[in-house]
């Protein structure tokens, strides 16, 4: 991932092959979000199917983390200099 070449560490979860996330899974994602905040890392999630996306919306995760339809959109966001 070219972010490392630019001395930036980022976290990207590509969930395109994930069919379901249990409630504990959402808790893990929230914990990872907090860790990323602590270390000032950008975090993005991409490729969620409708069921997984609804789960993230239900727990309000979409307000905490950027979510994208595909890997290309997420990568563009993560490599942005902002």
Mean pLDDT of 34-57: 93
What pLDDT sits at residue 82?
55
Q: Taking residues 40-47, report their average pLDDT.
A: 92
Secondary structure of the chain in HEC code, one letter for each residue: CHHHHCCCCEEEEECCCCCCCCHHHHHHHHHHHHHHHHCCCEEEEECCCHHHHHHHHHCCHHHCCEEECCHHHHHHHHCCCC
Average pLDDT, the chain: 87
Q: How confident is the model at residue 6 (pLDDT cuts 50, 70, 90)?
A: low
- Decide if pLDDT at 75 tops 60: yes
pTM flag (> 0.75): yes
């Amino acid at each position: 991932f070219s972010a490392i070449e630019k001395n930036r560490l980022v976290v990207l979860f590509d969930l395109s092959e994930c069919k379901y996330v249990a409630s504990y899974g959402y808790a893990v994602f929230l914990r990872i979000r907090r860790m990323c905040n602590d270390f000032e890392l950008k975090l993005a999630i991409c490729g969620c199917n409708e069921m997984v996306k609804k789960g993230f919306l239900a727990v309000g995760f979409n307000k905490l983390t950027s979510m994208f339809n595909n890997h290309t959109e997420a990568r563009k966001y993560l490599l942005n200099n902002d």
